[in-house]
Structure 1
Amino acid sequence: MQWSQIKTLFILCFLVLDVYLLFQFFDKQSQSNIGVLERQDSPIEEQLESEDIKINSLPEKVSDESFLSVKPKSFSTDDLKKVEGFKNQEPLSVDKNFIISEFEDPVPISPGDSEEKIEETVKKSIIYPKEYTFWDWNKDLNVLFFFQEKKERPIYFNQNGMVLVFLNDDNEMIYYTQTMLGDAEPRAEKKTLIKPIKAIETLYKANTLNAGDEITKVNIGFHTRVPLANGVQVFVPTWKVTVNEEKNYFVNAIEGFVFSSDENSFISDVLTEYVKGIRQLKGDQKVKGSILNQLEKKLEIIHRGEEDDVSV
């Protein structure tokens, strides 16, 4: 009888303990959920500060913009004559949408030159120089990138509106390619752009930013949105967010999604198209073969880098 009572007492004690622990569990779970909600609802500035993500500066004025509708430009006979008239240049061949020209005597570019000096040197050698802005010196491929501008803003990574300047091992310009977009027309009504801080928040929520990063620059430009079947391309205003002065991310400034920013993939596609096009061009076979050989070597560098990334 006594053992039965003791056993019952133990059971009741354990039951009370279980109930107590259950209440403790639910209370901690509730507090945890509240913490998550508070963290999610806190301003993006506070979330960035908590992870020591700094913002250098942001554009103060954000204007309304519309999509742009643009067709590739066809170079005129006069355009082609201007290219052929440049001193120290020998066009391999040109057609209505694509120019490739070789420098008879390589033109030096110093690694210590400022962007302004590089622009000045290159723009002396191309037609419509004011249409382009310097983007980058890709040191792995030793190629200078210039993007065409519309409405005084760069069009990011569009192979129909860019100049690529190829350098030799002594950092001398040996040849360049040029494509160009025609007149831009607004497509539909203007729309309100998302604020730069919203673009940064989009990258943060996509786990693109890491603790300790610095947002060094935020600029507005255009990015390809929809290529249409008739050759017309539609460009959308796009925020370029530069992180740690080296990595660029692109956020649609109207719809708020992140564009792919795989520069090597873009370059690979462009050079592949150039190789196909140059093989069909008429001209000096020796020069043509030399340029093709150099382009194919640069494609090998890109593909080798991609294989190394996969192996890692």
Structure 2
Amino acid sequence: MLNLERLRTLDALARHGSVSGAADGLHVTTSAVSQQMAKLEKEVGQPLVARSGRGIRLTDAGRLLADHAARIISQVELAQADVEAQRGRAVGELRIGAFPTALRGLFPSALVELRAVHPELRVRTWEMEPDASLGAVVRGDLDLAVGIDWYNKRMAVPGELLRADLLDDAADVAVPADHPLAGRAEVDLADFGDADWISWNEGQFCYEWLVFTLRGEGIEPRIRHIAEEHQTQLAFVAAGLGVCVTPRLGRGPVPAGVRLLPVRASVRRHIYVVWRADADRRPSIRAAVDALRESGARYAAA
């Protein structure tokens, strides 16, 4: 029997026209795409891709199977949506991925609401970076994912996904209490041209945003320390090891010895949730989106 995940890989390859494009669309590595295609070719017993100059092209068999793959993927989503819609209520399992501060800031109240209003719905959550979680939705590994756009840099959202806005979240610059700018009511990012920075992992969307933004201010950032969690970043700031950008959603307690400085030209990130268009009729999708929207509205009003 053909593997659905491998058919999703073939579908992405057909839509994007290259291994790198398929990898970007699925938010996986190019080697993962190649491995999945090799396994699919072994399953069907004939080549599905062929070299074409520096790139690749689908063989006749590859194009034929890709057409079927697109229909199969759509039918799987529609079948699940129809079964759920026929029952008329949110039931079964719902898988959601979200980055750490969204998971911490939005999900506890949203999940409590879903449990109370939809007791037959089983929600499972994963903490993961937004580029990975969006790819997991495309592949069908997740049903929903929470994404972010910074005010000056948007994340690429695959065309087959729908999205709903949740909230706008402001960010501050965190500095040690004895920093020369610690007494300011507002700052500009350009004020930190000589600062040592504490940032997210290289390659992550927020890391790329920070470097892109500082370079836009004419600053070549000196990133001295890498930490995944905002609380770890703030602990480094408290120790006098540098400064960081810290969003407000899910931030939690700020350590003694840290000052939070609003940015004069407001630094904000837009937070939204995505799901596959084929799953739009599922009551569980709609229920989760509504619960997350209400959680976002409560946070914004606080």
Q: TM-score, normalised by structure 2?
A: 0.29
Give 1 or 2: higher strand fraction.
1
Q: Radius of gyration: which is bigger?
A: 1
Q: TM-score, normalised by structure 1?
A: 0.28
Q: Work out which structure has the larger RCO, using CA pairs closer than 8 Å and 6 or more positions apart in sequence.
A: 2
Give 1 or 2: higher helix fraction.
2
